[in-house]
Amino acid sequence: MVLLPNDPDPDSEFGWLLYEGRWGELKSWEYNGPYGPNTGSKWSEPIASMENWRDTSLSVPGSNAIGPTATDLFCTISGGGSMLVTRLWNNPAALAGVVLGTVALIGGLFFVKRQELAQALGLYRRHLRPFLAIGAFTIPIGIVFNGFALLLREVPPFDWALKWLNDTGGARLTSAAAVGGAQQVAMILLIAPPIIVVMRELEAGRKPEILGSFRAAYRHLGVLALALVIVVASVSLLAVVLIGIPIAIWLSVRWQFFGQATLLEGIDSAPTAIRRSASAVSGRWWHALGDAIVFQLFSLIPGPLVGMLLMLMGRAAVSFANVLSSVLFAVTVPISVIGLTQAYIRYRARTSPAPTADAPVAGPAPDTAPA
């Protein structure tokens, strides 16, 4: 241990303690080198300076809720924003352009799709009971999958893998991503289909039943699962190589309505449902991309955003903010599916498929978007 003098001699070996400049490379803003410890009260008056220190820091636990949470959004914005600023700080014009361009693009897209969004919200409000009841099932699904995530971290042999990787952030992130991906698959297969069935009943002028919608949807579960496997496998293989990413995006937009094709038209073949989705989107790819972005963002952002604002401005507990995010996610998911289903009905009206015994095709009901 070396004891440092309070008033070192400038010509002694401790003369460096008197240096009042910055220690490190000269940069602008937060990237500048810090001042030496002797320039602050923590050095000259350590006891007095600690009197104003806070007793605790905000604890940000791992996500244990359904869907994206306030902490997820906060960490994503913090990490992504800091990387963006770090990369573009030496070019302020480019940084401002990226930020303003992104905000303008998203805001403009929501403005262009405001009518479609209003129609989805209106249909949700008029038939709140079945949509809200189905959306509420996202909460137990989230509990199950997050319980499974805990098992992955605590129970052999999965915990051995984490320990073998030194329990690094990358290992935990991979584990969370795997569970999150499985959870998203469950949403696509277990929650979205009953909502689409409710839309089918409304389109046909019938009163939807909650349990009946689940039963009718799950009769097509095998077709939906196979279609999802085909879509995910094809897109993933293309996205592995850089040149395949644009094709993967193009196909994702064309094939995204396989669930609507299966359940609205009674298609009992996964490849046929995928082709029907592609046929409906043909000639309206940019419209379909806009609908996908708007309604996916609408389902993912509001809950975490409200929770994060409560956590930062209202000083709400992190756990409460995450729970609120999950509840709002359960509310917004049906609206997202409603909007995309209404978009498919508009696209489908151009091709007029032949009616099937399982799902007679009728013109849009008053609650659906006009073709």
Q: What sections of 136-284 are H helices per DSSP? A: 138-154, 158-164, 169-186, 192-203, 210-218, 221-240, 245-255, 258-265, 270-281
Q: Dump pLDDT digits (tens) for 227-268.
A: 999 999 999 999 888 888 999 999 999 999 999 999 999 999
Backbone angles phi, psi at 22, to 5 degrees: -85, 140
Dist. CA 370–CA 119, nearest whole Å: 10
Contacts of range 72-81, beta carbons closer than 8 Å, 24 or more positions apart: 72/304, 73/301, 73/304, 73/305, 73/307, 73/308, 74/308, 74/311, 74/312
Indicate the average pLDDT of the chain.
Answer: 76
| Model confidence band, residue 285 (pLDDT cutoffs 50, 70, 90) | very high
Amino acid 39: pLDDT: 74
| Model confidence band, residue 359 (pLDDT cutoffs 50, 70, 90) | very low
Q: Dump pLDDT digits (tens) for 2-39.
A: 677 777 777 888 777 777 777 777 776 666 777 777 77
Q: Dump pLDDT digits (tens) for 5-14.
A: 777 777 888 7
Q: Which residues contact 287 (CB under 8 A, 6 or more apart)?
A: 343, 347
Q: Does residue 179 contact residue 186 with C-beta atoms inside 8 Å?
A: no
Calculate the alpha carbon distances from 346 to 143, 242, 356 in Å: 36, 33, 19
Amino acid 317: pLDDT: 52
Residue whose tokens read 């996916």:
296
Q: Does residue 37 contact residue 43 with C-beta atoms inside 8 Å?
A: yes
Q: Dump pLDDT digits (tens) for 125-163.
A: 999 999 999 988 877 776 776 666 556 656 555 555 555
> How many secondary structure helices (H) and strands (E) does the chain include?
18, 0
Nearest to 66 by CA among 313, 338, 337, 307: 307
Q: Does residue 169 contact residue 108 with C-beta atoms inside 8 Å?
A: no
pTM: 0.66
Dist. CA 220–CA 193, nearest whole Å: 9
Dist. CA 230–CA 172, nearest whole Å: 28
Q: Does residue 324 contact residue 66 with C-beta atoms inside 8 Å?
A: no
What is the mean pLDDT of the segment spanning 270-282? 94
Q: Dump pLDDT digits (tens) for 48-97.
A: 777 767 665 555 544 444 555 545 545 665 566 666 666 666 677 777 78
Nearest to 220 by CA among 252, 182, 256, 188: 188
For the chain, the helix, strand and coil percentages under 3-state DSSP, each to the nearest 5: 70, 0, 30
Backbone angles phi, psi at 35, to 5 degrees: -75, 160
Report CA 334 to chain centroid distance, whole Å: 15
